[in-house]
Amino acid sequence: MIERGKISALQMAMILHSTIAATALLAMPSVTMKYAHQDMWLSPIWASLGGFLIVWITFQLHKFYPKESFIEYVPRIIGRFLGSIFAFLYLFFYWIILGDIVREYGEFLITNFLAHTPYSVISGSMLLVCAYAVRGGVEVIGRSAQFFVPIVMPLFLIVLLLLIPDLKPQNMLPMFEHGLKPSLIGAIPPLSAFYGEFFLISFLYPYVSDKQNKLRWGIYSVLSVVWTMLLVSFSTLLIFGKVGAHLTYPLIGVARYISLADFLEHLESIVAAIWVLSMFIKMTMIYYALSLGTAQWLKLTDYRPLIFPIGILSLVLSIWTVPNLQVLSQFINSTGTIYFLLMQYLIPLLLLIVAYFRRKQNQKKVAEQA
């Protein structure tokens, strides 16, 4: 085993919460609103079923191979040759995702706060910090999540609490104007792009120390993401109404909308703090999965020498694959959806089915031999 660290189930849940909620906070509301209009608050609830499904699938796979990560047990399920190809496909997948996320992080900061700072400095410095955390291993990632989540959550709640006087509940009406269909269609982007990322849990399961609570905390973290997404959806909808669909980052608009007693205003830097802290966890987690996975795939004894090369390549990739934000959102709304669904839902499910039958066959063989 390359990674010797252990994290608690709570830490695992916190890592996952930040990983999924980080981008969902900013990017999700306008996407779901585009398809589901005033019923957009329902979409994250529908989509959460996918989150539960992934946590369950990966947990079942983990039960079959308790000490191994996804990259290690894929060859055991479908054979060494095919398995290695599949594992590589996953590493490639996370490489692209990491590039996208790095780009998204930089784009947000440049658009809203640091208009003149070069992109490579913003993203490069963040990747450097992430690289340092990845070097520390899973324990460091777990602890930083445990440290940052209790900072991020109250900040987020403060923003929402201060908004209460400005909420217009009538923006929710009419409910189900076109039945449930729009909200179900609106559930597809969060299902594929956001809840799909729960698949990263398969890289964490082997290192969680309390075995009984793994699945339970996985489900808790899906629930907390649902809750966060609901709050963001409601705040966007009840403040901006349908205009929210036209905003690039609705949460920033929402934070800027706060005005209490003529002096408590201009709170968008809180959103920036939330963004930077949770994006740190998110980037670190994907970066870690990619580095560890590559080392496991190549059967190396240590993943640390890979960290810096992967970091530099991701920075380059974030410029190559995503020339601008429009291309990224186009990718997520078209081919990306299929790609995400395939890699994070369909293949794991098929693998689970194959693993299940293999296990049965093996048991039969053992029984016959006996």
Residue 35 sits in the site that holds another protein (CB under 8 A): no
Residue 273 sits in the site that holds another protein (CB under 8 A): no
Give the count of residues interacting with another protein (CB under 8 A): 26
Residues in the chain: 370
The stretch among 97-105, 106-114, 189-197, 304-312 that binds another protein (CB under 8 A) is 106-114
Distance CA 128, CA 141 (A): 14
User: Residues 6, 64, 88, 241: which binds another protein (CB under 8 A)?
Assistant: 241
Residue 259 sits in the site that holds another protein (CB under 8 A): yes
Residue 266 sits in the site that holds another protein (CB under 8 A): yes
Label the pairing between strands 177-180 and 259-260.
unpaired
Among candidates 4, 36, 7, 2, which has minimal Cα distance to 218?
7
Give least dist CB 185 to another protein, A. Answer: 18
Residue 324 sits in the site that holds another protein (CB under 8 A): no
Residue 261 sits in the site that holds another protein (CB under 8 A): no
Distance CA 329, CA 322 (A): 10
Report the site for another protein in 176-205 (rule: CB under 8 A). Answer: 177
Residue 173 sits in the site that holds another protein (CB under 8 A): yes
Give least dist CB 111 to another protein, A. Answer: 7
Contact 295, 303 (CB under 8 A): yes
Report the site for another protein in 303-322 (rule: CB under 8 A). Answer: none
Q: Which residues pair with 178 in a beta bridge?
A: 180
Which residue blocks in the chain are alpha helix, DSSP H? 9-36, 43-64, 70-78, 80-112, 119-136, 138-163, 181-186, 188-189, 201-204, 214-240, 250-257, 268-297, 304-320, 325-333, 335-341, 347-369
Q: Which residues pair with 265 in a beta bridge?
A: 259
The stretch among 143-151, 171-179, 278-286, 294-302 that binds another protein (CB under 8 A) is 171-179
Residue 257 sits in the site that holds another protein (CB under 8 A): yes
Q: What does each C-alpha distance from 10 to 62, 209, 303 come to in angstroms?
A: 18, 10, 25
Residue 79 sits in the site that holds another protein (CB under 8 A): no
**117 vs 361 by CB, closer to another protein:** 117
Contact 216, 70 (CB under 8 A): no
Residue 117 sits in the site that holds another protein (CB under 8 A): yes
By CB under 8 A, name the binding residues for another protein.
Answer: 111-118, 121, 125, 170, 173-174, 177, 239-243, 246, 253, 256-257, 259, 262, 266
